[in-house]
Amino acid sequence: MGEVEGGGTGREPSPSSRLDAALAKGRPGLVCYLPLGDPLVPEGLATALLEAGADVLEVGVPAANPRLDGPVVADSMRRARAAGVDRRRAVALLAGLRERVGAHAIVWMGYPERLGERWAREVAVSGVDAVLLAEAPRRLAGPRRWLAAAGVPLLGFLDLELDPADVALASGAKSGYVMVQAVPGRTGVRLGGPDPRLPRALATLRRAGVQVPLAVGFGVAGAEAARHVVELGADAVVIGSAVLEAALDGLPRVSTLIADVRRALDAR
């Protein structure tokens, strides 16, 4: 991967301030999935995404059981694990990514597997700005506590069936973002648009006092879909499987995809 200048001088920003700054540009945010350690993904993907207009890199850390991921992402994780990307290697790869992308925001995206205080310390060493786990917030009391002790925020991950306990936890967030599924089920490119419940879910979260950006993902595949979910009330869009599919065809295609999405969001 090539280098991307982080810009600025002086004291290194804290994780929360770096992520908050990435999503406070007066425009809809664009969060892009970056597969970690997949040998089929071309070098330079992080740079291509950032140069095309991504605000945040949501880095997929390989998991043994990526239960919410469709075949595109799940197969990528299997390839990475087969290539030797265990947790220790993931930490090293993320630390290297942090050096290359400077002050750009990076999120550790993973599953609640083999977690504990040591894991949280390793996450902090990796240099990520926050962690997003594919699990309901109410079930993550331990990870939230361990990460807080390590100085790393835990972001909220919500499905469309909003549990009151999850909403309460999301409403207490002071930084980062809350990810909301656009559709139920697993990740993957969808052609039918978001679930009809999405606008109500976003409105419910705002009425409950959620102040951080609401980032909508799962099935959002391109410029038109991204613009649509923002029109429904999202503050940011997460592009996942579509990024990976495009990247497997080469960097020019993924650059075109993300640049198109960025233009669509900025044209609102």
Q: Which residues are catalytic?
A: 58, 69
Q: Give dist(CA 264, CA 240) in Å, integer.
A: 17
Q: Two tokens at 240?
A: 């996942």
Q: Which residues contact 75 (CB under 8 A, 6 or more apart)?
A: none
- Dihedral (Cα; 157, 262, 7, 250), 10-degree rounding: 90
Q: Two tokens at 67?
A: 């239960």
Amino acid occupying residue 127: G
Closest by CA to 212, choosing from 31, 11, 12, 8, is 31
- Dihedral (Cα; 256, 233, 159, 215), 10-degree rounding: 50
Amino acid occupying residue 204: T
The crossing angle, in degrees rounded to 10, of helices 164-171 and 198-207 is 60
Number of other residues whose CB lies within 10 A of the CB of residue 232: 18
Note the residue count of the chain.
Answer: 268
Q: Provide the strand spans (E) within 111-250.
A: 130-133, 154-158, 178-181, 214-217, 236-239
Q: Give dist(CA 180, CA 234) in Å, integer.
A: 9
The answer to whether the CB of 15 falls within 8 A of the CB of 152 is yes
